[in-house]
Structure 1
């Protein structure tokens, strides 16, 4: 294979050849890995002639688009656009028509050759010329359509013009320098006296009201994206079916109109139902199969009640439901149809885990067979639309409760980096996703062997050709009923580590994305939805993305245990960037108790996560040193009692050390401080162990106490009020 052909494609498709690893050392992507990445994109790397043809076609297709599919500019910038035409057409007159988002039309007459010639190409013996055209109008913030019209008024080309703010939205109190705290929870973990074995939106409302009463300004959630009703054990919130829609499992069924109907109560009061309900409430890990069975049984009964009374008639309630369906558009229809197909296949005992095993006629959303299925099963599809409607209403009620409780932010949601291979999101837009690759990470501190997350990446070129609409939809939908959005693995806006199917994570490579455009869209949606934005920038992070995030008003994510100097000491939280959210631990890390007593290392050894005994011993040694440095830091800043030992061998994770670490963080300079309920409860088991699948019950562990018990505990109430006071003092020192 001629290296120049490969290298040219590697360059134009954004595959990186060199990067700096998590330990600050230069790393190189092998030629084999780069070739495999091109193969995942659909290129015939094994055939030089075919590859040369594919390269020429890619270049030609770009030249034969008179206008770019989409362009993003920031407010106040001089807007220009590129225009490409055959040479014989560059002296003709054209009309550039702008249709603004509010329907206003603007026009600009132009002759391309009057602009600046910047490039020339020959495609099939035809010379094409590219000019830069100055846009004469000042366009407002928003999404606008641009049409290139000939003298005869015929449309020649279209472009989406996006005008974005310079940076993301910040609430007034954060912009004014106030420092706030909140709790971070996995919603499914919550126990309460009335829930059905899994945390729900009513529990969330209670948590918001009680923590808000004590001064918390937000509650951060794990991703609450739609999962798989017919496959409950596929429960990872970071491997969803659709990131635009919600997980129905969080609906509080008892709050729905129709729940008190005799037909529904007959189901709920049945002895076998009550026995199953007692089981799911009492087990320490969420029994997803049992919970979903219970909830779906009752939700279908409630839906039947509402269908007979309202949803099949010309009622106010049905009009609201129809309005929700209309607003949801094709995306909602796609998810609901997918869920209905999966339910039917599962009920027939057929393979149903995702679209790759669906019958051929149902394997893509836009196939005629799917339309036929929709018509034949329209009521079932409507049921799954109903679930999304009810989930959205209950989530919105929780956010309204946050504002009524005096929270300045309220709910902050979490946007996962991708969807699983068999997801509805890929089923509905197959062209966008590279299903022969998976998102992951090169070797780093959290994953010494590298990580493969099993999430097919978006193709940046297809995303561009689709005018960024999928990203716009993702940002917009995840900012609904929230005051902040955390973007998991925010480096995805700049680059993603792609792992070809069948390869080890180490054999992957970075593929770049249009970061400036994506950040512009993020800023625009942030202002429209009044959402503060947090970017999870852990792992192998290039300086350029941190700089860009800061310039765009995205809050960095600072984890205490990772904020370490070269000499091993831990940076004081006083030195964290103001524009950041700080935390002690995350869902991918051990709890404070687990960390201090090395329970994560014990479990990792048990599960075979470490390549050698030597590496494991190095980790133990490093942990011992880190704990000593932490103890020194806490004593040095008077964050723990003086009576507490100064040698780590003498100090266990007691309540005073636990609370002292939280107060230590509360004194810091970060605008936001997020603390986990697990650490309030001094729990030792982690939420998730990276690098495991079925070896550990990830995403299932519940809290050890009910919410009602937590907020009636005087010790925890005192901790919360103390955190509020400490944050207030930190604000006054700005």
Structure 2
């Protein structure tokens, strides 16, 4: 491809070809990788003539619109309107109608040429002008609509006015908060069915509120695949708007104690043998759990329908709209096809007539399987009710935030989100990360990215819907890989490895504005997971927008290799010792993650592994020095990390040490209080390690009765109160 054309296409698509990596070294994206990415974006890289025609078509798609489809503007600045016209249209008078969110209607007459000329382009022999007009209106933050008529054609714009700053509770000025992060599926109890559920969550919230915690952080609880329960990664969901039905406490569903048919199912000897087995396993058997839950859920749905119309459920279905219907339809159709042939893992490999949700075959299936669709809608209704109940338990118990939810960065290729909106996603590429300390070879997450221009054309509605759904029944929301607001590492399917990608940019100011608006409306604090390769200035921009930073102790090192004192962490941040992608405290100290990585073949050679071991031993000594320096360990405790195993004293000292952080929020991992060693997830693996399956080593009833854990949590609460 001609170099000038390639450069023009790269610039048009917002692709970054030069960046600084996680070690601060400059990197240039190889020409072949640039071409692979352009090809993934739909350009013919083998024929310059065709590629130029494709570029022109996309440029005209923008310039032939009188109004931009969406405009996001801060509330504290003058309101403006951008118009795109060809030269003859520049002098034609127009009437603008503004419809505000609260129902007011305003009109104003304007002529394009009377505005400020901000851009001129020549496309296909036609000259186009862009004019900016200042509008005489003061609008509150919210979602408004602009309408214009031209030559009998109506143009509309979603005008989004934003508050500029995410929500922050007034109580933040009074004391610092702390909480516990947990993987909901990993909770064990005497009553659950082999997987943590919303009732276990409510019980955990009550206990933690009583010891002074203000929140519980959850793994993403997005909808997965009921037909394929083993596809269990919470970060590769089917839908981020709906919930994982496996977390439903079946015994808390309506009719469980009244339905005779259900009683016959759950009281059978075989059922109880399976139930006892599921509770005994150290790793979640997702298929086994769903084999227990789904038949009982179906029985209870039948009981529910026999009771007659339920107003609350009818309202839920109405409010859920097309999105809920599509998610339920997907689950019903997926189950139908997967039972016939388990090669039908997702819509990309379904029979052709089912790959479009609007096809005649799909509509016919929907008509014939209304009961199945209603069943999956009902499960979403129950999941939402049980989640809302858990949040209410937290608030009633005195927690400031209650649930702290997690929004995954994307969905899997087999997802209902992509099935229903394929134009939004680039299926020939995947989100990932360039090489960094967490993934030295780079990472490919298998998640097709949203296309920035398509997101813009859809008026950012997919993002608005996601934020609303995930801020519901939550006091805080963690944005996984918050850098996605600015840029994402796209790995084309044609690339040789995860390093063969490039960054693609997104409209960060628009997305931050929408994030702030939804945060304020839902009264949800926003935490941005700002790890990995972070460009200069982005943390400050996020901070200015009220997004809380995410500071991991193991990564907070000074230039001399020592560990930064938690007292020097930024106030607008959440501090944590470790994460779901890192080893537990004991795993880190004993280098279990490095030994496991060696077994799994994650390192390129022995030299790299030995370098990592040497670095770890140096880090351990630095940590021990820091703990002694801050006097969180007794004078008599060993000062050399050599041959020093991690005991409870050292484990709890680290947690108390971070509790003195100046950060507003502190999040600790429940498995560290239980002194567990095995990790939740090993990045860079899929089937090599049982990711997203490991349960806690103790039942709720056990660890909540542990006096030493109780004392640790009380001490942490006291330290947070001191700040």
Under a length normalisation based on structure 2, what TM-score does the superposition of the two structures give?
0.99
Does 2:620 match 1:627? Answer: yes
Q: Secondary structure at the match of 1:384?
A: helix
Of 651, 658, 662, 1:658 maps to 651
Q: Secondary structure at the match of 1:140?
A: coil
Distance verdict in 2 for CA 1:350–1:637, change over 3 Å: closer
Contact 1:16/1:512 (8 A) holds in 2: yes
The CA distance in 2 between the partners of 1:650 and 1:120, in whole Å, is 70
Does 2:58 match 1:66? Answer: no
Q: Which residue of 1 aligns with 2:700?
A: 707
The CA distance in 2 between the partners of 1:213 and 1:167, in whole Å, is 32
Q: Deviations over 1:38-88 (max 9, x none)?
A: 111111111111011111112222111111111111111112121011222
Q: Which residue of 2 aligns with 1:455?
A: 447
The CA distance in 2 between the partners of 1:582 and 1:359, in whole Å, is 48
Does 2:457 match 1:441? Answer: no
Contact 1:345/1:351 (8 A) holds in 2: no
Q: Which residue of 1 aligns with 2:266?
A: 268
Q: How does 1:664-675 map to 2 (within 5 A)?
A: 664-675=657-668
TM-aligned CA deviation for residue 136 of structure 1: 1.2
Identify the range of structure 1 (702-711 vs 89-98) with the bigger mean alpha-carbon deviation.
89-98
Q: Secondary structure at the match of 1:557?
A: strand
TM-aligned CA deviation for residue 177 of structure 1: 5.1
Contact 1:97/1:149 (8 A) holds in 2: no
The CA distance in 1 between the partners of 2:174 and 2:427, in whole Å, is 45
Identify the range of structure 1 (294-303 vs 358-367) with the bigger mean alpha-carbon deviation.
358-367
Q: Which residue of 1 aligns with 2:418?
A: 426
TM-aligned CA deviation for residue 149 of structure 1: 2.4
Q: Secondary structure at the match of 1:90?
A: helix
Identify the range of structure 1 (179-188 vs 30-39) with the bigger mean alpha-carbon deviation.
30-39
The CA distance in 2 between the partners of 1:55 and 1:672, in whole Å, is 47
Of 339, 346, 351, 2:331 maps to 339
Q: Which residue of 2 aligns with 1:724?
A: 717
TM-aligned CA deviation for residue 155 of structure 1: 4.6
Q: Which residue of 1 aligns with 2:20?
A: 20
Identify the range of structure 1 (361-370 vs 453-462) with the bigger mean alpha-carbon deviation.
361-370
The CA distance in 2 between the partners of 1:128 and 1:19, in whole Å, is 33
Identify the range of structure 1 (88-97 vs 413-422) with the bigger mean alpha-carbon deviation.
88-97
Does 2:162 match 1:164? Answer: yes
Identify the range of structure 1 (58-67 vs 693-702) with the bigger mean alpha-carbon deviation.
58-67
Of 226, 230, 236, 2:227 maps to 230
The CA distance in 1 between the partners of 2:307 and 2:402, in whole Å, is 35
Contact 2:119/2:130 (8 A) holds in 1: yes
Q: Which residue of 2 aligns with 1:567?
A: 560
Q: Which residue of 2 aligns with 1:603?
A: 596
Q: Which residue of 2 aligns with 1:247?
A: 244
Q: Which residue of 1 aligns with 2:211?
A: 214
Q: Secondary structure at the match of 1:506?
A: coil
Q: Deviations over 1:153-202 (max 9, x none)?
A: x453111110011110011111x152111000000000011000000000
TM-aligned CA deviation for residue 502 of structure 1: 4.1
Does 2:258 match 1:258? Answer: no
Q: Which residue of 2 aligns with 1:535?
A: 528
Q: Secondary structure at the match of 1:119?
A: strand
The CA distance in 2 between the partners of 1:105 and 1:353, in whole Å, is 50
The CA distance in 2 between the partners of 1:298 and 1:550, in whole Å, is 47
The CA distance in 2 between the partners of 1:7 and 1:353, in whole Å, is 39
Q: How does 1:142-541 map to 2 (within 5 A)?
A: 142-150=142-150, 154-174=152-172, 176=173, 178-260=175-257, 261-310=259-308, 315=309, 317=310, 319-503=311-495, 504-541=497-534
The CA distance in 2 between the partners of 1:481 and 1:179, in whole Å, is 22
Note the aligned Cα RMSD (angstroms).
1.1
The CA distance in 2 between the partners of 1:72 and 1:693, in whole Å, is 39
Contact 1:641/1:656 (8 A) holds in 2: no
The CA distance in 1 between the partners of 2:587 and 2:59, in whole Å, is 54
TM-aligned CA deviation for residue 121 of structure 1: 2.9
Q: Which residue of 1 aligns with 2:106?
A: 106
Q: Which residue of 1 aligns with 2:34?
A: 34
The CA distance in 2 between the partners of 1:117 and 1:674, in whole Å, is 51
Identify the range of structure 1 (474-483 vs 110-119) with the bigger mean alpha-carbon deviation.
110-119
Q: Which residue of 2 aligns with 1:687?
A: 680
The CA distance in 2 between the partners of 1:349 and 1:49, in whole Å, is 44
Contact 2:167/2:516 (8 A) holds in 1: yes
TM-aligned CA deviation for residue 31 of structure 1: 1.3
TM-aligned CA deviation for residue 373 of structure 1: 1.1
Contact 2:36/2:494 (8 A) holds in 1: no
Does 2:82 match 1:90? Answer: no
Q: Secondary structure at the match of 1:505?
A: coil
Contact 1:644/1:651 (8 A) holds in 2: no
Identify the range of structure 1 (575-584 vs 343-352) with the bigger mean alpha-carbon deviation.
343-352
Identify the range of structure 1 (204-213 vs 352-361) with the bigger mean alpha-carbon deviation.
352-361
| Gapped regions of structure 2 (runs ≥ 5) | none
Q: Which residue of 2 aligns with 1:122?
A: 122
Contact 2:471/2:522 (8 A) holds in 1: yes
TM-aligned CA deviation for residue 661 of structure 1: 0.4
The CA distance in 1 between the partners of 2:640 and 2:441, in whole Å, is 33
Q: Secondary structure at the match of 2:91?
A: coil
The CA distance in 2 between the partners of 1:624 and 1:678, in whole Å, is 23
The CA distance in 2 between the partners of 1:640 and 1:463, in whole Å, is 52
Contact 2:431/2:488 (8 A) holds in 1: yes
TM-aligned CA deviation for residue 109 of structure 1: 1.1
TM-aligned CA deviation for residue 92 of structure 1: 2.0
The CA distance in 2 between the partners of 1:607 and 1:336, in whole Å, is 38
Corresponding residue pairs, total: 721
Does 2:674 match 1:676? Answer: no
TM-aligned CA deviation for residue 650 of structure 1: 4.5
Q: Secondary structure at the match of 2:537?
A: helix
Q: Secondary structure at the match of 1:32?
A: helix
Q: Secondary structure at the match of 2:16?
A: coil
The CA distance in 2 between the partners of 1:93 and 1:218, in whole Å, is 56
Q: Which residue of 2 aligns with 1:7?
A: 7
TM-aligned CA deviation for residue 618 of structure 1: 0.4
